[in-house]
Amino acid sequence: MIYTQLFEKFKKKDSVIAAYIGAGHFGTAVVTQQKYVKDLSIPIVADTNLENAKISFLKAGIPENKIVYCNTAKTASAALLRGEFIYTDKVSILMEIPEIDIICEGTGIPEAGARYCMTALENGKNVAIVSKELDSVIGTILKKKADEKNLIYTPVDGDQHGLLIQLFEWAKEIGLTVISAGKSRDGEFVYDEKNKTVTIAADGITVHKTVTAHIPDDYIKYFEMIPEGKAQDYIEKRAEILKNLPGAGGFDLCELTIMANATGLKPYRPELTQGILRITELPIAYCSTNNGGIYKDEEGIIDIQTCFRRKDESGMGGGVFLVVRCDNAYSNYILTTKGQIPNYDCSTAVIYRPYHLCGVEVSTTLKAAVMLGLDTGSANYKPRFDLVRKALCDIKIGEIFGNDHDSRMTSLIYPATSRGADSAVPAHMLDGNTVKKEIKAGEIITYSMVEEPKNSMLWELRLEQEKTFKK
């Protein structure tokens, strides 16, 4: 990494002052890490829950007598000059504080986020987008608007899609062919060989309950290392045996939708493979059938893995991966014999990052945006795909759509479409809106099935995005 040299030699500003909207787990980590990052300050946090906003500073080790509530931009500016830290429930004041260089939008609420991002850009603020829900729907039009104003709209280091985009860009820069790429789920399947069980542990965020499955003796072989040429069979058998363990959530596919839009990679199928795979099995399974993998004569795939491991083995830590090759035989020999994990014939290898540090890593994005005028995402961000919903049960007229955790729906990744009665609605345009037409189990949710909200910035910007990027 050459961040230090870039900041020292090419910085446009000596320091960065950021504001954060949304004091959840991710946002709190951004705030608490600031003390240890050179030339970065995050002295203001906005949240509808004032207690959460204040607590983020207390967890950062800020003395309580240095933490103040403000509800106007004027009083907030004065507090900043006194070296105080501000918490507020008045998000609008962030946009009017001249000292603030960049706004981190992390509410996870698409409609609110759309308004906050637009207001920030209109007031000359750079935007670091943490809310993947919003980004998956209108990220490309917001980036275009930022570009037009010579501002930055960027995903953040620390979240999986931001990290994968950078890993992908690095691979392209050194001339690797990316066969597949993706993320590992936060929840991992831990194998107990002695007791013949597989367990996923609750983490309080993405997995809400610890679940254990017992493996019948006749199926034990399917949990050994995948033999050459057997990837599809083993993936299917593992999925069948462990079907009662929770699979990927809408939030996982949401991030992968952004990854696809930023990289040009495509899903092999709308629900993705969701393979239960060891790290060492990724280059065996997630490659073309020409290389012994599962993708029929296809490359450039985006996918997801549930990491399968023993308790005493390292996991993926919700990290990201690339399955790659070099198209020169000698280069590929170096790639597959110098520590990387290859497939059986050494035609592919996996390069992976077995961790994502969430808010702890965001500082590099904030400093790059303000000090260098650079985003840490992709220059080729286009609305190629949408996250959409399929009903898992009948949904009645008048019910309210939920978010990624709504158990009545599952998520898929479809090619992006324009608005129309029979077109699939981008998933996070449904959040909090009303069912207009009875939906049967198995149906894709279309515009004809949802009551369009009035005065929606999110829906308005989505329509503008469709017109702007019309093929």
| Series of mean pLDDT values for 10-residue runs along the chain (471 residues) | 90 97 96 97 98 98 98 98 98 97 98 98 98 98 98 97 96 97 97 97 88 97 97 98 96 97 97 98 97 94 98 96 97 94 97 95 98 95 98 98 96 97 98 98 98 98 96 62
Exposure string (b/e) for 104-115, b if CB count within 10 Å is 16 or more?
bbbbbbbbbbbb
pLDDT recorded at residue 2: 84
Quick one: pLDDT at residue 208?
87
pLDDT at 205: 81
Q: Give residue 1's pLDDT.
A: 64
Q: What is the pLDDT of residue 471?
A: 62
pLDDT of 297 reads: 85
H helix runs in 372-445, sequence order: none
Rounded-to-integer distance, Cα 400 and Cα 397, Å: 9
On whether the CB atoms of residues 21 and 105 are closer than 8 A, the answer is yes
Contacts from 56-65 at CB under 8 Å and sequence distance 24+?
A: 56/20, 56/23, 56/27, 56/28, 56/31, 56/32, 56/87, 57/31, 57/85, 57/87, 59/28, 59/31, 59/32, 60/31, 60/32, 60/34, 60/35, 61/32, 61/35
Q: How many angstroms separate the CA atoms of 349 and 338, rounded?
A: 10
Q: Judging by beta carbons within 10 Å of its beta carbon (0-12, 13-18, 19+), is residue 199 exposed, middle or buried?
A: middle
Token pair in block for residue 253: 């596919």
> Mind listing the domains of the chain with CATH numbers?
3-158+359-372 (3.40.50.720), 163-356 (no CATH), 385-468 (3.90.1210.10)
For residue 37, what pLDDT is reported? 97
